[in-house]
């Protein structure tokens, strides 16, 4: 998974999904708000459902990082909650 700060982006909050911990390629880009949905690429229904649950657990952190309220990647990563 890849989350980023807004920077110069003209779109709203998005997550890029990688099939492995080391990002070599992204399989999908997913919007975070207003709804979780695949914008580009493909995810199975099961993977999208899991991602939706993870986003719900971490929505506040993801958005705060995007908007610059969390200044450092390390802070965002430390605040993220894994799926149970």
Question: pLDDT at position 52, please?
Answer: 96
Residue 21 counted as domain residue: yes
> Which of these, 50, 47, 45, 51, lies nearest to 31 by C-alpha position?
51
Judge whether residue 20 has pLDDT over 80: no
Judge whether residue 4 has pLDDT over 90: no
Q: What range does the domain containing 75 cover?
A: 14-79
Pairwise CA distance, residues 43 & 82, whole Å:
19
User: What is the three-class DSSP state of 34?
Assistant: coil
Structural domains in the chain (count): 1
Residue 34 counted as domain residue: yes
Residue 9 counted as domain residue: no
Judge whether residue 12 has pLDDT over 80: yes
Q: Are 5 and 66 a contacting pair, CB within 8 Å?
A: yes
């Amino acid at each position: 998974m890849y989350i980023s700060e807004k920077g110069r982006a003209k779109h709203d909050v998005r997550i890029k999904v990688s099939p492995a911990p080391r990002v070599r390629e992204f399989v999908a880009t997913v919007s975070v708000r207003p709804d979780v949905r695949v914008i580009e690429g493909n995810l199975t229904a099961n993977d999208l459902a899991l991602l939706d649950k993870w986003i719900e657990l971490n929505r506040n952190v993801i958005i705060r990082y995007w908007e610059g309220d969390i200044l450092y990647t390390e802070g965002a990563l430390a605040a993220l909650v894994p799926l149970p």
